Structure 1
Amino acid sequence: MDTNLENLSGLGFTPLEANMYITLLKEGEMSGYKLAKAIGISRSSVYAALEGMYKKGLVSKVKDEVSSYIAMNPSVLCKQLKHTFIANADEAEQQLMGLYEDKREERFTNLHGFDSIVTSVREMLLSSYKEVYLNTDFDLNLFRSEFMILQGRKVRIIVFSFASLDTKDLDIELYSHDDTACEGEKPSRIMLVVDCDKALVADTYKKRGTWLGTVTNNALFVSIVAEHIHHDIYLYKLKRQKGSEVVDETMKIDTILERRYHATEPNEQ
């Protein structure tokens, strides 16, 4: 197919409309009779198509003894089509999201095993079109191909980690403590949020030995995981600004969580 015809088809032109529009661009002002003769189509088909194109704003009518037509300026036409498409897409999004939210069920799916979790992470990454938040000590090269696809979509990828991670050639915002104590250690955890719509958490530790995780679209769960990753980044940035730990002994509230966290190594939980 001719490239011009293909492009116009992608903009919603019928094959006949595309052929007529391109012919008018090339030949200039033409009557329906001359246009029908030029493209080898019956006059009745051409006149009906011209009237439809005129109503859509694809051609302009020139009144003389016999009506003739000229193609709309391509620059003006494309701007008009973009505006119409965006307006229609915005309206459709609002209407369809209403149906989606009404019928969407919140689900929790349990994951078991490292391979299952890696597969789920890859699937979730590929479903993203806006933003990705990650908190992990995984080797990010596991997901390099997915990240490259997201780069093409201009998806913002934000990663927090205590470990030192390789992000070479990846367009990623990395906030890392570069903890050398984590070097050589096997990955132990991952938290992922895509488009603030779906979350995954998974981990393993020495006593359990196996990987377990959960994927859900539950709004509260997604918010909690997203906030956790954000707070890790906020504390990281505050620590860099102060040059020391932000949370000191005077700020602690003496809870089981605090005692458990400080009594174990990061990878042992």
Structure 2
Amino acid sequence: MEQLLQHLRNLGFTELESKVMVCLAQQSTQSGYEVAKRLGVSRSNVYATLQRLLTRGVVQLTPGEPARYSMLPVKELTRMIAGQIDASLSYLEQAMPSSREESPSFHIVEGERNVIELINRELDKAGEEIVAGIWREEAAWFRQKLENAEQRGVRVLWSFEGLEEDGHPGIRLLKGGISGRKFWMVIDRHWCIVGMRGDGIPAQALVTEHPLMAELLLQHFSQEIILYEMENDLGQELIRRYGQGYTRILDRYLPGIIPAD
């Protein structure tokens, strides 16, 4: 019941309007007095609510003594609401003023649900290319959306962060590392998201369309590809010359950087 009421609220109905609608749907026709009694709400509030619902066209009135009310058939109701929403969204796209910023902005998205919903919306809009770096634990969030994108012709390139197939971790660039799992994504070479989450750590992400961020992430991905190919071809030779995890190179430029344990 609560889930149904929540969806009605999401569609713009008030708490009492939602309860009255559900109450009317549970029985063919009822008077305002009967609805008020079943809900335990004052008759004046119920009659005012019924009047608003009549005005919106979601409730039908049968005149009489007393007058009786009934819900619009559910299929007719959903078609009507869908039409109203489509019309409002169409008008919004055309009429809403859009501020022109001199440079792309950055903003933060917090909470796992908000991050997942945002990325899924952007994946649905991807037209040409998706490039991503993600841990296996988070890959389940987007696997279906990525598969759907591939099926409609979008090129999808992604790498797994963290442990590799053989169990060896990547290089940790700071002693102690960062607690949590990072993820990033570039869609159509302009929309970017960089974030992290982990056990006990709420998901948080930075979102931008700044071209510099897209360039940095794509360069990072290209470097990973180059290293992957080189390590496959020259693995032992690279270890002999540069040390495990390239420590000899790292110590030369940034002493103290060590491979992950």
With the length of structure 1 as denominator, give the TM-score of the two structures: 0.46
TM-score, normalised by the number of residues in structure 2: 0.47
Larger radius of gyration: 1
